[in-house]
Amino acid sequence: MFRTHTCGELRLEDKNKKVILSGWVQKIRDKGGLIWIDLRDRYGITQLLIEDGRSNSIVIDAVRKLGREYVIQAKGTVIERLSKNPNIPTGNIEIDLSEIQILNSSLTPPFTIEDETDGGEELRMKYRYLDLRRQPLRSNLELRNRLSIETRKYLDSQNFFEIETPYLIKSTPEGARDFVVPSRMNEGQFYALPQSPQTFKQLLMVAGYDRYYQLVKCFRDEDLRADRQPEFTQIDCEMAFVDQDDVLKTFEGMVKHLFKTVKEIELSDFPRMEYSDAMRLYGSDKPDIRFDMKFVELNDVAQNKGFKVFDDAELVVGIVAKECADYTRKQLDKLTEFVRRPQIGAKGLVYVKCNEDGTYKSSVDKFFDQDSLNKWATKTNAKKGDLILVLSGEKDKVRKQLNELRLEMGTQLNLRNPNNFAPLWVVDFPLLEWDEDSERFHAMHHPFTSPKHEDINLLDSNPGDVRANAYDLVINGSEIGGGSIRIHDRDLQKLMFKHLGFSDEEAQEQFGFLLNAFEYGAPPHGGIALGFDRLTALFGGQDSIRDFIAFPKNNSGRDMMIDSPSSIAEDQLDELGLGLIPKD
Ligand code: ASP
């Protein structure tokens, strides 16, 4: 028997028990007469005690040979510790070691395997199996496991079926770039890895499965922005005979269930916000509503006073930072620098301090007298002691810029506590968005999303104004999920493809299987997919998803541990009919 207990299990009640533990040597402290070993496994850490003179000399000799990360089996008796450690659950006891067996030795690890490590990112990725021994990562994966179990429990309770869909599918030009896989048996032809199981889950609805879900890997060959993984996991779902409200209720229920069971947090009902309001009030389709600081449009009080920057602007818009009128010159300069950074791109920042004595001090005093500034304060509902921050310019751009500034102020004022959770649904997204590069409309969500019925007649005249039956789940300013009610009518789907620039032949070639299926009794249906990695990171109170994935890729899409991607042998290429492609 390797062990009678785990390293996280023993308590004072176990005093005097003879036990066997197995695990890794985390730390050895040798104080001459006394030696302590921290023995670690997945469950925790237990301290072993060896005492010169009292412990067996063979044991002492063996212990002196140990190094960090050796795997050992330790036999001994549970005793009460003299100096207890309240920080760990086993901190009241230690094991008086009577026998030890070295099960395997270890090289000195390249970084310390403790909660705080000295290992840099690259090194930790290369030795991921060592990094995964650290408690913070272990608890991240434990959280992930709990969330997947509770997700399945909830969806099972709601009659969802977990059904697997294929990973080797067909490449389509919509959406992000596909990862492709050459087919040996069909030379010159390729599979694509799914960006999502979208069409398959819709076909499952045509097949009558009614409620489908899958915790599924999806693959997108995008240029990696920070914290994007080329392969990631979604909780992917689809339901038949539902409208938008049914889908939102079902998945609001799921998210509430997860918060309750995993974090013991009872969330109240999620607000719903139209996309156009989200853009107008927060400059973002994923507003962080943990704090207020809504945008206030100031054109009517700020224009036509001779300040050209405002007069020429499509939009003048501000936010109020509560109790920030005492910001120093330096702090304000920093904010100006912040909005001027190329990633944000504002030309400048206008501020108004609402002084405690009722006067105003602004960066545009030359153009605006106290009376005018008072109008700004009234309009923005700024009080004495507050600071108004104003940007101006072209509407869409300035909203994006002010969104960045709002989030920065939220951070500076500690309004974005990761332990507060503020979910909401953003609904009524535009169906189409104009793409400057290809000079045509693209589906904002995907081509299977249904337009709102009342907007269908705008498809020809004002395609940009058509709203979709699409919704996003946003929590703390992060897009956690998105979905839509789908088109289930063949003619409407064909019309949609036409508006997206597909010829009839192209639509038939790429999506013929779906169009055909719609001729055999497709029920009304809709669904959603939630980003499981991001959801887990959110539950773990962190921004980065990387440490919630056991074996992630780095920012260049590389697995540093197995060193992939890699070139393949000439004969493998030949076999795939790719022999002529030059390797660089
Ligand atoms: N397939 C979509 C996505 O991956 C989600 C959905 O519409 O259900 O974003």
Q: What pLDDT digit, counting tens, does each position of 286-323 carry? A: 999 999 999 999 999 999 999 999 999 999 999 999 99
Phi-psi region of 44 (alpha: psi -120 to 50; beta: other; left: phi over 0): left
Query: What phi and psi values does residue 330 have, to the nearest 5 degrees?
Result: -65, -45
With a CB cutoff of 8 Å and minimum separation 6, the contacts of 527 are 201, 212, 236, 237, 238, 239, 247, 483, 484, 486
* Distance between Cα 447 and ligand 1 center (Å): 11
| For the chain, the helix, strand and coil percentages under 3-state DSSP, each to the nearest 5 | 30, 25, 45
Give distance in angstroms: CA of 155 to centre of ligand 1: 17
Q: Give the pLDDT score at 439.
A: 86
Distance from the CA of 476 to the center of ligand 1, in angstroms? 20
Across 161-170, 247-256, 356-365, 452-461, least confident range: 452-461
The residues pairing with 74 across neighbouring beta strands, listed in sequence order, are: 21, 100
The answer, yes or no, to whether residue 336 has pLDDT greater than 70, is yes
Closest atom of ligand 1 to 486 CA is: 7
What is the mean pLDDT of the segment spanning 201-222? Answer: 97
Range name among 224-233, 258-267, 411-420 with the lowest pLDDT average: 224-233
Task: Give the alpha-carbon dihedral of 497, 499, 501, 502, to 10 degrees.
Answer: 20
Q: Is the pLDDT of residue 145 over 90?
A: yes
Residue 531 Cβ contacting ligand 1 at under 6 Å: no
Evaluate if residue 33 carries a pLDDT over 90. Answer: no
At residue 314, the pLDDT reads 98
Mean pLDDT for the chain overall? 95
- Are 255 and 235 in contact by the 8 Å Cβ rule? The answer is no
Q: Which atom of ligand 1 is nearest to the CA of 484?
A: 7
Task: Judge contact between 345 and 400, C-beta under 8 A.
Answer: no
d(CA 475, CA 424): 6
pLDDT, tens digit (0-9, with 9 covering 90-100), for 507-536: 999 999 999 999 999 999 999 999 999 999
Q: How would residue 176 be classed by pLDDT, with cut points 50, 70 and 90?
A: confident
pLDDT band at residue 32, thresholds of 50, 70 and 90?
confident
With pLDDT > 70 as the criterion, what percentage of the chain qualifies?
Answer: 99
Look at residue 109 in the predicted model and tell me its pLDDT.
96
**Cα end-to-end span (Å), the chain:** 54
For ligand 1, pick from 178, 198, 201 the residue to mutate: most ligand atoms within 8 Å of CB: 198
- pLDDT for residue 55: 82
Predicted confidence band of residue 224 (pLDDT cuts 50, 70, 90): confident
Is residue 52 over pLDDT 90?
no
Query: Is there an atom of ligand 1 within 6 Å of 527 CB?
Result: yes
Confidence of residue 173 (pLDDT cuts 50, 70, 90): low
Q: What is the mean pLDDT of residues 397-405?
A: 98
Biggest CA–CA distance in the chain, Å, is 93
86: its two tokens: 């309240």
pLDDT of residue 211: 98
What the block records as the tokens of 345 is: 């791109």
Ligand 1, atom 4, residue with closest C-alpha: 196
Residue 581 pLDDT more than 60? Answer: no
Ligand 1 centroid–CA 519 distance in Å is: 23
Residue 577 is predicted with a pLDDT of: 87
Q: Which tens digits make up the pLDDT trace of 338-390? A: 999 999 999 999 999 999 999 999 999 999 999 999 999 999 999 999 999 99
Confidence (pLDDT) at 43:
96
Going by C-alpha positions, the residue among 561, 544, 556 that lies closest to residue 224 is: 556
In the chain, what are the domains?
12-104 (2.40.50.140), 138-273+422-571 (3.30.930.10), 291-412 (3.30.1360.30)
**pLDDT-based confidence at 130, cuts 50/70/90?**
very high
Q: Give the bridge partners for 36, in sequence order.
A: 29, 49
CA distances (Å), origin 459, targets 203, 252, 310, 448, 505: 26, 31, 35, 15, 21
* Cβ–ligand 1 contact at 239 (below 6 Å): no
- Per-residue pLDDT at 38 exceeds 70: yes
Strands 93-104 and 44-51: parallel
Chain centroid, CA 264 distance in Å: 21
Q: Who contacts 27 (Cβ-Cβ below 8 Å, separation ≥6)? A: 37, 38, 68, 114
Task: For ligand 1, say whether the CB of 194 is within 6 Å of any of its atoms.
Answer: no
CA distance 335 to 484: 38
How confident is the model at residue 584, as a pLDDT? Answer: 56
CB 90 within 8 A of CB 8: yes
C-alpha pair distances (Å), 429 with each of 5, 163, 242, 484: 55, 29, 19, 10
Could you give the CA distance from residue 428 to residue 297 in angstroms, rounded to a whole number? 22
**Statement: residue 42 has pLDDT above 90:** yes
Q: What is the CA(63)–ligand 1 centre distance, in A?
A: 56
Give the model's pLDDT for residue 54. 84
Q: Kindly report the pTM of this predicted structure.
A: 0.94
User: Hey, which bits of 33-160 come out as E strands?
Assistant: 34-41, 44-51, 71-80, 93-104
pLDDT of residue 437: 85
- Of 68-72, 225-229, 479-483, 570-574, the range with the lowest mean pLDDT is 225-229
User: Separation of 530 CA from ligand 1 center, angstroms?
Assistant: 8
Q: How far apart are CA 214 and CA 165, in angstroms?
A: 8
Q: Helices (H) and strands (E) in the chain — how many of each?
A: 17, 22
